[in-house]
Structure 1
Amino acid sequence: MAIVLARIDERLLHGQIRLQWGKQSGANTVLLANDELSEQVALQAPFKAAAGGEFAVVCRSIEQTISNLPKAGPDRKICLICKTPMDFARIVQGGVKLPEINIGNMHFHPGRVMVDKNVNVNKEDMKAFEILRDHGSVCTVQHAPESAKQCIFEMTKSLDI
């Protein structure tokens, strides 16, 4: 088992993941780690359809993700997607090593500060990024595979969050 991409994206699985990130990473499995989605089977169908048959799509809770990742077979190349940095923080605190977290779409919500056109953060998000950093994960904003990576801490150091 190899995690070939770990990405934060509030939209979870959509065309950009399928057409750009999935192909660039060489993934054959998309693991959507989200507590709410894992409990509602009816919500999973659109995400599985969005994969277009190119990837196996698995929806798991954060706890299931922590316990099941080590059991994945050697042929699995996993694109791990969570909605929030806190979900990834829980995963690394559960013992899963993630060398790099790709930060994609984090929409504006009240209380969040704009970092760039696609990434907005609040204090809780930044605390989660600190947990990730403390567990050895590099957290970079990168909207598309051909885009430059930018460290979330460098991007936010002059912001009042």
Structure 2
Amino acid sequence: MGTIVLARIDDRLIHGQVMTSWLNYTGANRIIIVDDETANDTFLKMIVTSVAPANINTEVFDMAGGVTALKNLADNDKVIVLVKSPAVYVELMKQGVILEKVNIGGMGAKEGRSKFYKNISASEAEKACLAELVNNGVAVSIQIIAEDKAIDVAKLLS
């Protein structure tokens, strides 16, 4: 069975930091994006998948498709999973996708969110989702790039 080498929350999904730092660090050979909005927008989907390196299989799924893809990884898959919200990981977990760690890379300021840690913002609902992940044994940390020290989110929630 394949492995999820990085499960990341990032508003921007794919961008320079993900491509360089995390692909090198994890040795990933596949990126799975689970985001209903992106999956249902042909133009957005094309943009997001075109940003990934050509040698990395990059796919965009809605929730149902993401669950299926993540439960049926090939043996040699080393997958980076990208989502925009912690609620997606809560739902994936409820659907039987096993998550050991979740990384927060980018949750920017926007309406309904307040400062959570440095340049990371979260709404009360997002904090509740992060707490649910932690309470279900998922190690949640903030780590922008692989070289950064990971910040344990469980300590920030208490």
Q: TM-score, normalised by structure 2?
A: 0.93
Rounded to whole Å, the distance in 1 between the matches of 2:44 and 2:134 is 32
RMSD: 1.3
The one-character-per-residue Cα deviations of 1:19-53 (angstroms, maximum 9, x if unpaired) are 11111111011101001111122211111221121
Cα drift, residue 111 of structure 1: 2.6
**Structure 1: which 5+ residue stretches go unaligned?**
none
Within 1, Cα distance between the matches of 2:55 and 2:18? 11
The aligned counterpart of 1:146 is 147
Partner of 1:44: 45
Q: Which residue of structure 2 lines up, in the alignment, with residue 82 of structure 1?
A: 83
Following superposition, the deviation at residue 110 of structure 1 comes to: 2.3
State the match for 2:117 in structure 1. Answer: 116
Task: Count residues with an aligned counterpart.
Answer: 157
Alignment partner of 1:30 is 2:45: no
Which one-letter code corresponds to 2:123 in the other structure? N
Q: Distance in 2 between matches of 1:12 and 1:96?
A: 20
**1:58-78 CA-partner distances (Å, limit 9, x unpaired):** 000112111221212111110
- Mapped to 2, the partners of 1:60 and 1:144 lie a distance apart of 24
The whole-number CA distance in structure 2 between the counterparts of 1:105 and 1:129 is 14
**Paired AA for residue 80 in structure 2:** C
> Structure 1, residues 62-106: CA drift from partner, whole Å, max 9, x if none?
121112212121111100010000111111111111100001100
The question of whether the paired residues in 2 share the 8 Å contact of 1:9 and 1:82 is answered with yes
Kindly indicate whether the alpha-carbon contact (under 8 Å) linking 1:34 and 1:83 is maintained by their aligned counterparts in 2. yes
Normalising to structure 1: TM-score of the pair? 0.92
d(CA) in 2 for partners of 1:141 and 1:2? 21
Comparing 98-107 with 126-135, which one deviates more in the overlay? 126-135
Which piece of structure 1 moves more, 68-77 or 90-99? 68-77
Amino acid across the alignment from 1:65: G
- Does the 8 A contact of 2:134 with 2:154 survive in 1? no
Separation in 2, partners of 1:125, 1:65? 20
Give the gaps of 5 or more residues in structure 2. Answer: none
Q: Distance in 2 between matches of 1:89 and 1:53?
A: 30
Tell me whether 1:11 sits opposite 2:12 in the alignment: yes
Q: Separation in 1 of the partners of 2:101 and 2:89? A: 11
Kindly report structure 1 stretches of 4+ aligned residues shifted beyond 2 Å: 115-118
Aligned to 1:31, what secondary structure does the other structure show? strand
